[in-house]
Amino acid sequence: MKIGDLDLGHQPLFLAPMEDITDPSFRHLCKQSGVNMMYTEFISSDGLIRDGAKSVKKLDIFDDERPMGIQLYGHLVESMVEATRMALESKPEVIDINFGCPVRKIAHRGAGAGMFMNIPLMMKMTRAIVEASTVPVTVKTRLGWDEQNKVIFEVAEQLQDQGISALTIHGRTRAQMYKGRADWTLIGEVKNNPRMVIPIIGNGDITNPVEARHAFEHYHVDGIMIGRAAVGKPWLFGHIRHYLETGELLPEPSVSEKVDMARLQFSKSLEMKSEPVGIYEMRRHFSNYFKALPHFKELRLKLLTTLDVNEIYDLLEKIRDQYGDYRPEITGGFWDK
């Protein structure tokens, strides 16, 4: 699969951009696992052009992370174009436009998935960014605004006409948020539309290698993007790649192996964000790293409430000592299909 001249190989796997999740500390572990391409956390065009410290910091890209995309969102064409020019200074391989975020404060301002309420503006913005960018421009979007307005088939053609180089489709509407099952049928229809020539990347509910292979084989997407299912599970990409190439399902990492990964991510989070932000932003990851451990309530509560760095490291070692080589079976997640 290629995005412009960028060759990502056969059946590439993408890490979705997620606010307060896909920071460099998490990206580092996903890259070690074998993800083919990653993105920054999504960035507000308004925040960026106003020199907001948090938005500007998100532009940081490290050489060992590449290829990298920078994802932007906003509701004003001029602001998005200016933000694109600023983002290009970080030399990303791709500029990605977010037309999919369902969060009310973003969508109801007309940004993210809110662009489905003004498709002519969506196309005008896309064309302007393509013309302003010196690297390929891609789009991430949804099926439409709600069940009665699943317009992705037509919108995909229009976005391609504006000059984008790839399209990622999340298989839900804005109204669904993250509820219910993702509808891959429409993603497949877009991919199999003979008029579509750009790569189509599918997103939504891929939580294990079996589901990933099913998406490739039944919907013929060019790539798969994974978001929430990778939080606290950076090894997921490597396990999917191994299964796609060999047909063998690797076992869930042991708790001891997860402690090693959690410690590495935590140390990088502290290095890049300091205290207490580096602690706060690790909590969701910690919770997922050690999901489904028996009799874990007391340790979990301490791990997710303390602001003492040394205590966190001590707690991680207690988890290792108590659970060691234990490999939990996670209902509704890995390897249950």
Q: Is residue 106 part of a domain?
A: yes
pLDDT at 335: 31
Task: Single out the catalytic residue among 101, 107, 115, 135.
Answer: 101
Q: Is residue 217 part of a domain?
A: yes
Last residue of a domain, one of 196, 220, 246: 246
| 177 lies in the same domain as 264 | no
| 227 lies in the same domain as 282 | no
Residue numbers of the chain with a pLDDT score lower than 50: 331-337
| 158 lies in the same domain as 236 | yes
Q: Is residue 226 part of a domain?
A: yes
Number of folded domains in the chain? 2
Q: Is residue 241 part of a domain?
A: yes
| 141 lies in the same domain as 194 | yes
Q: Is residue 163 part of a domain?
A: yes
Specify the pTM: 0.92
Residue 101 bears catalytic tag: yes
Compute CA distances 21 → 15, 227, 230, 256, 321, whole Å: 11, 9, 10, 23, 28
Last residue of a domain, one of 246, 265, 295: 246
Last residue of a domain, one of 212, 246, 280: 246
Q: Which structural domain range is residue 289 located in? A: 255-323
The phi and psi torsions of 166 (rounded to 5 degrees) equal -165, 155
| 100 lies in the same domain as 146 | yes
| 218 lies in the same domain as 287 | no
Which is nearest to 139 in space by CA: 106, 118, 110, 161? 161
| 140 lies in the same domain as 263 | no
pLDDT at 272: 86
Q: Is residue 335 part of a domain?
A: no
Residue 190 sits in a domain whose CATH number is 3.20.20.70
pLDDT at 264: 96
| 144 lies in the same domain as 62 | yes
Q: Is residue 337 part of a domain?
A: no
Encoding tokens for residue 125? 């913005």
Q: Is residue 328 part of a domain?
A: no
pLDDT at 71: 96
| 222 lies in the same domain as 152 | yes
User: How far is it, in rounded angstroms, from Cα 233 to Cα 252?
Assistant: 10
pLDDT at 329: 64
